């Protein structure tokens, strides 16, 4: 079905059929500046044409015969049954984004009776994803399958997600109410051209405002400058209140009182009761202990962290007693709603026993229909973490996730899936206090049910652990926090896992079967490679070499190596010997990351032996010496670019370093027929070639990301020290420095110890900042692809120093000159495909009277008929309102492109799915203006 957009609201054909308009427009062709993200809005299927004529007629600037309600949908089928909204979070979001989505859902749950649950077998559900529209959602429940809630770039903020969930629940924008002219004024002259339809007013027919007054504070209200021609020009002006003050509008912080009242009315929430989300709490009947009123209906929903259970204790019970508790009663259900399994129905004065949920939610409903006056009831609950779980799949989270876990917690889970299967564990998010040996807070995973079962891993820090697989049908998890630092914790999915390789047919593999989580893959013995059927093996390059010396080379050397090759050489020498590998020539695809073609050298014979290095590009590796008497060399090529390859010699000799470390102060490295001494980081080799002395503090950095720190970090930096960092990014990308910790001697003008940043490759470039003190500075970003940092300490006070992360940002302003310059799609071009969720803009300028010419050296961007997914756009001017020279994807333009003006805008966009190798452009300024090269 065709989808168009009204602001951040997705409209289907049924919605559009309610419009009656008198001039033809195409809503799908508007470039909508989103009120939250300032992102372009595009329909989901932009390439498939416009909307129907029926949906494209305007009359007097307003919608007539509209059935769109203001704040809440009046169509019953758009209401989620029981207020239950199943959800799925797409796989491209980070752990912190997932946590924030859950916080936004819990915010709605806390204030209303709406409940969000992870999808199981429900037919209708929402999917958090990233669509071309940026931030957008349908209003209410569409039915018949999944519906998207798009959280695009710059939309992943708590308030914006709460706003988009408001649309999901069933709300439209506040400023479109039929009575809005009594409360706000629309200043049409300030609205961006083409965005006027976002300020349409609804007709009163069948509008369901639920009797609530106009709410300036609503999270569903636009801000004063939404879709404005300028930041300081109002498009919506609120009327003054009785004190002559204009109310603030457009907040994206939390639900307003009006939002909460509207939602409770829309979903007919009981007058009493609430959603309880704390780890402990209490609740009681209305009027307790002085008696409850007749005809009372209350619902309490207890929702704690997945992986926890709820223990409910009634401390008082004094209700009217009847057969089967027909009149006044309390029902407790083991789940999130009124149809969950019944734990008990209670009345009279007998206090029930302790009730324990099987999962992390509990539903308590209280009804009275008699005139009998009793005290009522009171209850307390507590969330307990850990326990035995006997399900084939589910989720486990640290206590209080996604908020910080509590101090001094110890949780033990024993997960048992069906017999004959293994337990698979996959982490979605992980953030536990970091320590080298995980001594404070940690998650421990064991292969079995006992504390003495084999340890799979003890995890802490901020890196997600690798997927875990048990060898039996039981897995034990133990989470421990101490009394100090608390973090967000972890979220993990568990599921039953089958070892396909344990079957009699070996998974159908001819030689070796390798089990993976949820699947398996076939592999071959050394000297063989997988055939095209991915099951059988055929002879390959490589093999077992037992000579003391010899030569190896890539297939076809010195011609280009073939694609899709996997060669493994295993070199074995006598005991007490070491093997050295020396490359004579080296030319493989790639630069640093070595994602495409590469050679790996390891000490040992297996694929998980100690790795000496992974090599690609054209730089000849240093001599590599094994730790043992054997070495493994593996070469792999992908299915595209091929190069000349490599030729290498291997030699075996005795290890002189094995006795007294060769006399070296730091490290001894064995070489062919001899040895050399090396020094650790921060030191250089003494003239005697054995001892080490302190090194100069100069750094040249070419990697796209990494960390840098003051000398001696994390201890205090030394006195009288000068350190420099010369950082170079890929052409077309800027250097960004983000400070993680910062503590340098304080002075008003930073005259003593300080860190200086220069916008270029030396201290003669323009200064970006001069920093000292203990306040963490804002990030620094260069205007070009170079930044120079200089740290100086004097003779007196020393502090801890600083630690920072250097990354790259795409885009910027570039100067085209007569000689050619390079521009690359992404910082890891040549090593990795370009990332998803990318939006980059480069503005090329040159001298007046000159034009700009582009030559595409490499162009490989996701192919699509109308370039609707990933693409590059070129404009002859400063912005997207200038003349467009073309939009390109796939293999790009067939020839160079020339812009006759002295400015050119290059825009690159990628979505969240398929990515390719990207592009390499050379640009130059020229007076050649005879033709315009654009794709027709």
The whole-angstrom distance between residue 47's C-alpha and the CA centroid of its chain comes to: 28
What is the predicted pLDDT for the residue at 933? 42
Query: In this model, does residue 546 exceed pLDDT 60?
Result: yes
Mean pLDDT of the chain: 84
How does pLDDT run across 153-188, given as a tens digit for each residue?
778 889 999 999 999 999 988 888 888 999 999 999
First-to-last CA distance in the chain? Answer: 29
Mean pLDDT of 441-462: 95
Residues, the chain: 936
Which range is least confidently modeled, 61-70, 305-314, 816-825, 851-860? 61-70
What is the predicted pLDDT for the residue at 657? 81
Same domain, yes or no: 207 and 318: no
Mean pLDDT of 307-324: 93
How does pLDDT run across 330-351, given as a tens digit for each residue?
999 999 999 999 999 999 999 9
User: Which of the four pLDDT bands, split at 50, 70 and 90, describes residue 41?
Assistant: very low
351 exposed, middle or buried (CB, 10 Å; 0-12, 13-18, 19+)?
middle
Query: In this model, does residue 366 exceed pLDDT 90?
Result: yes
Query: Which has the higher per-residue pLDDT, 15 or 93?
Result: 93
920 annotated as belonging to a binding site for a ligand:
no
Q: How far apart are CA 351 and CA 585, in angstroms?
A: 84
Which range is least confidently modeled, 131-145, 238-252, 507-521, 691-705? 691-705
Q: How far apart are CA 44 and CA 148, in angstroms?
A: 10
CB count, 10 Å around CB of 690? Answer: 16
Same domain, yes or no: 120 and 134: yes
699 annotated as belonging to a binding site for a ligand:
no
Sign of the C-alpha dihedral, residues 453, 455, 456, 462? positive
User: Which of the four pLDDT bands, split at 50, 70 and 90, describes residue 260?
Assistant: very high
Q: How far apart are CA 420 and CA 422, in angstroms?
A: 7
Task: Decide which of 369, 385, 401 is a domain's last residue.
Answer: 385
User: Which of the four pLDDT bands, split at 50, 70 and 90, describes residue 1?
Assistant: very low
Helix (H) or strand (E) holding 111: helix 95-111
> 673 CB contacts (<8 Å, ≥6 apart)?
651, 653
Query: In this model, does residue 536 exceed pLDDT 60?
Result: yes
How does pLDDT run across 270-280, given as a tens digit for each residue?
999 999 999 89
What is the predicted pLDDT for the residue at 207? 52
Same domain, yes or no: 82 and 224: yes
Same domain, yes or no: 622 and 663: no
Residues carrying an active site annotation:
164
| Helix, strand or coil, per DSSP, at residue 54 | helix
Q: Helices 257-266 and 158-169 meet at what angle, rounded to 10?
A: 30
Query: In this model, does residue 877 exceed pLDDT 60?
Result: yes
Q: How far apart are CA 773 and CA 911, in angstroms?
A: 41
Enclosing domain of residue 677: 657-694
167 annotated as belonging to a binding site for a ligand:
yes
Query: In this model, does residue 36 exceed pLDDT 50?
Result: no
Q: Which two tokens stand for residue 890?
A: 């796939």
What is the predicted pLDDT for the residue at 721? 86
562: closest CA among 533, 525, 589?
Answer: 589
Same domain, yes or no: 329 and 293: yes
Q: Which two tokens stand for residue 504?
A: 């009699």
Residue 688 belongs to domain with CATH number:
2.10.25.10
Helix (H) or strand (E) holding 99: helix 95-111
Same domain, yes or no: 591 and 613: yes
Q: How far apart are CA 847 and CA 116, in angstroms?
A: 58
Q: Contact 233/191 with Cβ under 8 angstroms?
A: no
| Helix, strand or coil, per DSSP, at residue 824 | strand
Query: Which has the higher per-residue pLDDT, 36 or 901?
Result: 901
Q: How far apart are CA 568 and CA 635, in angstroms?
A: 6
Mean pLDDT of 308-317: 95
Residue 229 belongs to domain with CATH number:
3.40.390.10
681: closest CA among 669, 664, 699?
Answer: 699
Mean pLDDT of 7-34: 47
The whole-angstrom distance between residue 827's C-alpha and the CA centroid of its chain comes to: 18
Which range is least confidently modeled, 1-5, 22-26, 301-305, 640-644? 22-26
Query: In this model, does residue 65 exceed pLDDT 80?
Result: no
User: Which of the four pLDDT bands, split at 50, 70 and 90, describes residue 376?
Assistant: very high
Same domain, yes or no: 89 and 211: yes
Block residue for tokens 């916008």:
759
Ramachandran angles phi, psi of 771, nearest 5°: -125, 145
Which range is least confidently modeled, 352-361, 623-632, 809-818? 809-818
How does pLDDT run across 559-579, given as a tens digit for each residue?
888 888 888 999 999 887 888
Same domain, yes or no: 437 and 336: no
Mean pLDDT of 525-537: 76
Q: How many domains does the chain have?
A: 7
Task: Decide which of 233, 266, 299 is a domain's last residue.
Answer: 266
Which range is least confidently modeled, 37-51, 392-406, 439-453, 469-483? 37-51
> 1 CB contacts (<8 Å, ≥6 apart)?
12, 13
Query: In this model, does residue 784 exceed pLDDT 90?
Result: no
Query: Which has the higher per-residue pLDDT, 673 or 754?
Result: 754
Q: Which two tokens stand for residue 413?
A: 């889970």
Helix (H) or strand (E) holding 160: helix 158-169
Task: Decide which of 601, 630, 654 is a domain's last residue.
Answer: 654
Residue 586 belongs to domain with CATH number:
2.60.120.290
Q: Contact 575/630 with Cβ under 8 angstroms?
A: no
**Domain for residue 1, yes or no?**
no
**Domain for residue 513, yes or no?**
no
Query: Which has the higher per-residue pLDDT, 687 or 722?
Result: 722
> 765 CB contacts (<8 Å, ≥6 apart)?
758, 759, 786, 788
What is the predicted pLDDT for the residue at 32? 33
> 840 CB contacts (<8 Å, ≥6 apart)?
810, 811, 825, 907, 908, 909
Share of the chain above pLDDT 70, in %: 89
Cα R_g (the chain), whole angstroms: 33
What is the predicted pLDDT for the residue at 201? 82
489 exposed, middle or buried (CB, 10 Å; 0-12, 13-18, 19+)?
buried
Query: In this model, does residue 106 exceed pLDDT 70?
Result: yes
Read off the DSSP letter of residue 779.
P
Query: In this model, does residue 544 exceed pLDDT 60?
Result: yes
CA atoms within 13 A on the CB side of 840: 27
Q: Which two tokens stand for residue 214?
A: 């106009």
How does pLDDT run across 190-209, given as a tens digit for each residue?
999 888 888 888 766 545 66
Same domain, yes or no: 491 and 352: no
Q: How far apart are CA 876 and CA 882, in angstroms?
A: 6
Q: How far apart are CA 146 and CA 85, in angstroms?
A: 11
What is the predicted pLDDT for the residue at 23? 32
Same domain, yes or no: 688 and 624: no
Mean pLDDT of 519-532: 78
**Domain for residue 48, yes or no?**
no
Which range is least confidently modeled, 71-75, 613-617, 650-654? 71-75
Q: How far apart are CA 717 and CA 793, in angstroms?
A: 8
CA atoms within 13 A on the CB side of 207: 24
**Domain for residue 336, yes or no?**
yes
Query: In this model, does residue 254 exceed pLDDT 80?
Result: yes
Give 804's strand partners: 708, 739
What is the predicted pLDDT for the residue at 538? 65
User: Which of the four pLDDT bands, split at 50, 70 and 90, describes residue 81?
Assistant: very high
592: closest CA among 830, 286, 814?
Answer: 830
User: Which of the four pLDDT bands, split at 50, 70 and 90, describes residue 12?
Assistant: low
Query: In this model, does residue 67 exceed pLDDT 60?
Result: no
Sign of the C-alpha dihedral, residues 62, 65, 67, 72? positive
Query: In this model, does residue 60 exceed pLDDT 50?
Result: no
What is the predicted pLDDT for the residue at 479? 96
**Domain for residue 532, yes or no?**
no
Same domain, yes or no: 806 and 816: no
Same domain, yes or no: 306 and 411: no
What is the predicted pLDDT for the residue at 110? 96
b (16+ CB within 10 A) / e for 619-633: eebebbbbbbbbbbb
150: closest CA among 163, 136, 168, 165?
Answer: 136
| Helix, strand or coil, per DSSP, at residue 731 | coil
**Domain for residue 159, yes or no?**
yes
Helix (H) or strand (E) holding 102: helix 95-111
What is the predicted pLDDT for the residue at 53? 30
**Domain for residue 256, yes or no?**
yes
**Domain for residue 617, yes or no?**
yes
pTM here is 0.53
Helix (H) or strand (E) holding 539: strand 537-539
């Amino acid at each position: 079905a065709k989808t168009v957009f009204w602001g951040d609201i997705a409209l289907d054909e049924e919605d559009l059929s309610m419009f009656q308009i008198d001039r033809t427009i195409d809503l799908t062709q508007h470039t909508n500046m989103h009120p939250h993200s300032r992102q372009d809005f595009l329909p989901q299927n932009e390439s498939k044409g416009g909307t129907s004529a029926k949906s494209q007629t305007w009359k007097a600037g307003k919608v007539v015969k509209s059935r769109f309600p203001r704040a809440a949908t009046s169509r019953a089928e758009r209401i989620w049954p029981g207020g239950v909204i199943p959800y799925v979070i797409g796989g491209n979001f980070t752990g912190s984004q997932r946590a924030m989505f859950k916080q936004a859902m819990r915010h709605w749950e806390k204030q209303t009776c709406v409940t969000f649950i992870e999808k199981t077998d429900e037919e209708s559900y929402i999917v958090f994803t990233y669509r071309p529209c940026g931030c957008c959602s349908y209003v209410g429940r569409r039915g018949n399958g999944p519906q998207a809630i798009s959280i695009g770039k710059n939309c992943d903020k708590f308030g914006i997600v709460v706003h988009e969930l408001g649309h999901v629940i069933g709300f439209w924008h506040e400023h479109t109410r039929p009575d809005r002219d009594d409360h706000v004024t629309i200043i049409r002259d300030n609205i961006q051209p083409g965005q006027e339809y976002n300020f349409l007013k609804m007709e009163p027919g069948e509008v369901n405002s639920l009797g609530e007054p106009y709410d300036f504070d609503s999270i569903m209200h636009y801000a004063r400058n939404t879709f404005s021609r300028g930041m300081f020009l109002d498009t919506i002006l609120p009327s003054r209140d009785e004190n002559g003050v204009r109310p603030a509008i457009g907040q994206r912080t939390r639900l307003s009182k009006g939002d909460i009242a509207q939602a409770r009315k829309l979903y007919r929430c009981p007058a009493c009761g609430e959603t309880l989300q704390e780890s402990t709490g209490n609740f009681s009947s209305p009027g307790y202990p002085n008696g409850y009123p007749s005809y009372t209906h209350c619902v309490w929903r207890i929702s704690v962290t997945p992986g926890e259970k709820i223990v409910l204790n009634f401390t008082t019970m004094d209700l009217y007693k009847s057969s089967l508790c027909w009149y006044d009663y309390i029902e407790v259900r083991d789940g999130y709603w009124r149809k969950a399994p019944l734990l008990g129905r209670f009345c009279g004065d007998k206090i029930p026993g302790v009730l324990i949920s099987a999962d992390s939610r509990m539903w308590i409903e209280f009804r009275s229909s008699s005139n009998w006056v009793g005290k009522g009831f009171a209850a307390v609950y507590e969330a307990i973490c850990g326990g035995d779980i006997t399900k084939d799949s589910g989720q486990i989270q640290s206590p209080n996730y996604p908020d910080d876990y509590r101090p001094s917690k110890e949780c033990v889970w024993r997960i048992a899936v069906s017999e004959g299967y293994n337990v698979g564990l996959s982490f979605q998010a992980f953030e536990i206090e970091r320590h080298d040996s995980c001594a404070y807070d940690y998650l421990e995973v064991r292969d079995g049910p006992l504390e003495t079962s084999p340890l799979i891993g003890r995890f802490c820090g901020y890196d997600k652990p690798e997927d875990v697989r048990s060898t039996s049908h039981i897995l034990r998890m133990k989470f421990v926090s101490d009394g100090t630092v608390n973090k967000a914790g972890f979220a993990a999915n568990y599921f039953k896992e089958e070892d396909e390789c344990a079957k009699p047919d070996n998974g159908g593999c001819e030689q070796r079967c390798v089990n993976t989580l949820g699947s398996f893959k076939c592999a071959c013995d050394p000297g063989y490679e997988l055939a095209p059927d991915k099951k059988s093996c055929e002879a390959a390059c490589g093999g077992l070499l037992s000579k003391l010396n010899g030569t190896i080379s890539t297939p076809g050397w010195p011609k280009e190596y073939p694609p899709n090759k996997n060669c493994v050489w295993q070199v074995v020498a006598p005991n007490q010997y070491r093997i050295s590998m020396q490359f004579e020539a080296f030319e493989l695809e790639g630069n640093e990351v070595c994602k495409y073609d590469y050679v790996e050298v390891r000490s040992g014979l297996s694929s998980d032996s100690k790795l000496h290095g992974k090599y690609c590009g054209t730089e000849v590796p240093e001599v590599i010496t094994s730790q043992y008497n054997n070495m493994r060399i593996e070469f792999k090529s992908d299915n595209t670019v091929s190069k000349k390859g490599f030729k290498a010699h291997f030699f075996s000799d005795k290890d002189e370093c094995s006795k007294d470390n060769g006399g070296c102060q730091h490290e001894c490295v064995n070489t062919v027929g001899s040895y050399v001494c090396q020094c650790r980081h921060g030191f250089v080799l003494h003239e005697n070639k054995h001892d080490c002395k302190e090194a100069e503090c100069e750094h040249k950095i070419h990697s796209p990301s990494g960390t840098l720190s003051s000398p001696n970090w994390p201890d205090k930096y030394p006195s009288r020290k000068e350190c420099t960092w010369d950082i170079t990014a890929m052409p077309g990308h800027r250097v960004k420095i983000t400070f993680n910790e910062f503590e340098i001697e304080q002075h008003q003008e930073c005259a003593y110890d300080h860190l200086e940043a220069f916008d270029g490759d030396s201290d003669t470039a323009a200064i970006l900042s001069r920093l000292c003190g203990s306040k963490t500075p804002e990030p620094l970003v260069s205007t070009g692809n170079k930044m120079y940092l200089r740290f100086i300490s004097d003779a007196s006070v020393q502090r801890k120093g600083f630690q920072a992360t250097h990354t790259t940002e795409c885009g910027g302003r570039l100067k085209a000159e007569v000689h050619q310059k390079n521009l690359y799609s992404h910082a890891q071009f040549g090593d990795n495909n370009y990332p998803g969720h990318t939006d980059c803009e480069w503005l090329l300028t040159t001298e007046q009277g000159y034009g700009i010419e582009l030559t595409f050296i490499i162009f490989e961007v996701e192919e699509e008929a109308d370039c609707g997914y990933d693409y590059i756009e070129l404009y002859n001017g400063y912005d997207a309102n200038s003349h467009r020279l073309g939009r390109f994807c796939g293999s790009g333009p067939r020839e160079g492109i020339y812009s006759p003006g002295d400015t050119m805008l290059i825009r690159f966009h990628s979505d969240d799915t398929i990515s390719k190798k990207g592009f390499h452009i050379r640009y130059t300024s020229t007076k050649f203006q005879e033709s315009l090269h654009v794709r027709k």
